[in-house]
Structure 1
Amino acid sequence: MKKIIIGMLLVLQGSIGISYATGCDYPNIDGVKWYHISDEKRAIYLEVYNIAAEKIKAEVESQKLQKGQWGIILDIDETTLDNSLNEYENYKTYEFNEDEYNKAKGVSLPGAKMLVNLVHNLGGYVSFVTNRNGEAKGRVEATVKNLKQEGIYFDQVIFANGEEKVAHNKNPRFKAIETGKYLDDIILTNKLPAHEVIAYFGDNIQDFPNMTQDNMRKVDDDGYSMFGKKYFMFPNPTYGSWQ
């Protein structure tokens, strides 16, 4: 009987350990750690940005694109700026707080500065489309300051106009960049003339035109054919629309 009780206690202890590691009260600890310190993450970002640079140069040359005719669109968080430090250092007590973006200082991700500078030097526009809430007090100013402090070149930054799901739909903002027609409710640093977008960058499937978790699960591999050519995806095992 004593052995049975000990065995049951060991099983219970194991169950508690598993609950601690995977429970919803704590963030994805291994994912956060991998994202913040792994050499693999650094290699992937440099790999993707280097490949994208070659693809962009080839596209500009083949289409004979002139200054002001074209540009690229990037996400900010975990695509251009790394905001994992606060979560990594405080993973046991961490709770997502959008207001922290006004205080935290994101760090430029490997290859990001090289890529936007290349596009600028080639004559392209650099647009950031972020789901940071532009209606939050100080959010626009804090974001612009952070990008400039990290030496990230940009021509415009377009924010979400709220926190709800519909506000996080980037497609209307993508269309505005391509057409040069900006709706009154779009929150942005400045407007650019219409131009062709030849590359998109993000860490979420929804950072790319007309893509969601649901609709992309229904397509075969051919539906992802633009990735590595016009669409460039970065890893983010810490949070996303997949949750």
Structure 2
Amino acid sequence: MSHRLPAALAAAFLLAGCTAQSVKAPPSTVRPPAASAPAPAGTLPDDNLNAVAWSQTALEHDLIYLQTYRDAEARLLAAVADPNWDALPKDDRVAPAKGLKPAIVLDIDETVLDNTPYQARLIKSGGEFNEADWAAWCKEQRARALPGVVEFTQFAARHGIAVIYISNRAKDLDEVTLANLRQEGLPVAGPEAFLGLGTFVEDCEQIGSEKGCRRQLVSRKYRVLMQFGDQIGDFVTVLANNAEGRQKAMAPYTGWIGSRWFVLPNPTYGAWEPALFNNDWTAPREERRRQKIQSLRFD
């Protein structure tokens, strides 16, 4: 169901990479020119342009997704066979996993569905994310499945593994989201397969948009074999969204990367960005951009 990379084409590229020496691209394709035209007076360059262009057009992007989901599929049945295998953080495992039905847990946006057309629209209009436009995009049900995910989730479903989607799409977008997933060929067992933002979880205090309570809800019914996402918060609760807090949240679980947790690339948005400007979205765009530049390494 890749919208950019048919399976035969992916195979051809992968085979070529194994059998032939790579050909260096002309210098102009691997580094920017020495000088570029300045932006019009009063207009800042759009920080998201290259990120969205890469996500939509770079073959490397599609190959990363294919590689990730194919690798997960190759490991999945071994995870099912190991009764001690569980991919939930210890704080989210609130019921014993032994004897529970196996499941995989996936984020939706930029993990399962591609929303870069929405990001491209923002670049074209010069606007920024807002809930109304985002909801309108979701209701169009035009997001396409990312490479490899349909084949992987269908493989899981065929082997009796529940496919659960935990997303920060608002709960009132559940019907259009489930319809979008189904039309792209993703297995959806029913409304309970989608745990959106606003899902009530008894005896659990929701922290902002963190997914911990919903992972705890899943833990009451399932032994989670694998988790997939494009943000650290898709896997574990991040209490402080800064460099130190993000490192601290992930540190106990780095050994799970590539076996229980599978992280996908998203340079277009995510918690990593506001961590660079103290999570202050009220700051003017110019100030946010200045702080992002200040965060760069120059040696």
Q: TM-score range by the shorter chain?
A: 0.7 to 0.9
SS of 1:132's equivalent? Answer: strand
Matches within 5 A, 1:47-196: 47-63=67-83, 69-88=101-120, 91-93=123-125, 94-96=127-129, 97-100=133-136, 101-135=138-172, 139-155=173-189, 156-161=193-198, 166-179=207-220, 194-196=221-223
- For structure 2, the residue ranges without an aligned partner over 5 or more in a row are 1-34, 86-97, 200-205, 274-299
Deviations 1:116-144 (A, max 9, x none): 11111111110000000114xxx121111
Deviations 1:137-181 (A, max 9, x none): xx121111101110110231111019xx934110000000111xx
Q: In the alignment, which of 14, 20, 29 is matched to residue 44 of structure 2?
A: 20
Task: Extract structure 1 runs of 4+ deviating beyond 3 A.
Answer: 13-19, 62-68, 211-214, 218-223
- What is the match of residue 225 of structure 1? 255
Inter-CA distance 157–222: structure 2 relative to 1 (3 Å threshold): closer
Q: Quote the Cα distance in structure 2 between the aligned partners of 1:76 and 1:219.
A: 21
RMSD: 2.9
> Structure 1 length as normaliser, TM-score?
0.76
Q: Percent identity?
A: 27
Inter-CA distance 241–20: structure 2 relative to 1 (3 Å threshold): same
- For structure 1, the residue ranges without an aligned partner over 5 or more in a row are 1-10, 180-193
Deviates more, 1:144-153 or 1:52-61: 52-61
Inter-CA distance 222–157: structure 2 relative to 1 (3 Å threshold): closer
Q: In the alignment, which of 35, 46, 62 is matched to residue 42 of structure 1?
A: 62
Deviations 1:1-28 (A, max 9, x none): xxxxxxxxxx9x758689632xxxx351
Number of equivalenced pairs: 209
> Structure 2 length as normaliser, TM-score?
0.63
Q: Quote the Cα distance in structure 2 between the aligned partners of 1:120 and 1:108.
A: 17
Inter-CA distance 241–77: structure 2 relative to 1 (3 Å threshold): same
Deviation at 1:105, TM superposition (A): 1.0
